[in-house]
Structure 1
């Protein structure tokens, strides 16, 4: 797969899952194995679906705004703004996905709360 194809796979997978259809995301884009490095989530497609359902259940109005996507080799990094609830600053996410063939098979993430105030004028995105 090319870097652009890997990016497209990850974007479709991530956006579909975050938009509330993790079953469709997993069926279309997830491999039979799925290694999870987030300590709050278990390995495997079923665990991914359950985790996404849990998050969506707690935050039914969440919105993901992808800011940039970077690919190198079999890795795709997605930098995004996650609004969990309207009116709150949300979270800055850096998700790293590994693609094998045309399937997402591994995930790491770094999550940081967006502060109300900043020491510089640049913002997080």
Structure 2
């Protein structure tokens, strides 16, 4: 008998409750970040992503410039250097004005997959700060768990 099934069902129910427990503002923050991510990083369309940014944009990635203009330059860099780059959001977590994404990125280096954790802070519904941590998914793992939920 599989004893994990009831635990999986409980975890699924808890996740659904957690989603339902988001405030209206948290739901808006989640949608703001997801649309910003799609427009800026997948479609590489700065003009479509820019309305989601605040007047200031604090960047903590040491390889990207600070500010809205820094983000514009990053999008232009992606468009020119990695036009096939694609980021698939695997998980989203929201806590007040913080939105955290767990992302699967492909299309930068042939055959290479990156696992990315992006953290965004919003003020008054606009993205004002960003952190990220990026790790290459290895071909072989010391465990069978994978780096993405259920995969």
Shift of 1:22: 2.0
CA contact (8 A) 1:61 1:86 kept: no
Q: Any unmatched runs of 5+ in structure 1?
A: none
Superposition misfits of 4+ residues, deviation over 3 angstroms:
none
Aligned partners of 1:34 and 1:105 also within 8 Å: yes
Bigger fraction of residues in strand:
1
Q: Which has the higher helix share?
A: 2
Summarize the Cα distance change of 1:86–1:41 in structure 2 as closer, same or farther, 3 Å threshold.
closer
For 1:114 and 1:52, the matched residues in 2 are separated by: 23
1:6 pairs with 2:6 = no
Counterpart in the other structure of 1:97: 120
Distance 1:12 1:53 in 2: 18
**Residues 34-113 of structure 1 mapped to structure 2, 5 A cutoff:** 34-85=57-108, 87-113=110-136
**Residues 36-68 of structure 1 deviation map (CA, whole Å, 9 limit, x = unaligned):** 000011111111010121123211111111001
Calculate the aligned-residue CA RMSD, in Å. Answer: 1.4
**Alpha-carbon deviation of 1:87?**
4.8
TM-score, reference length from structure 2 = 0.77
CA-CA distance at 1:93 after TM superposition: 0.4
How many residues are treated as equivalent by the alignment?
124
Query: Which is bigger in relative contact order (C-alpha 8 A, separation at least 6)?
Result: 1
Larger Rg: 2
Q: 1:21 aligns with which of 45, 48, 68?
A: 45
Displacement after TM superposition at 1:122 (Å): 1.4
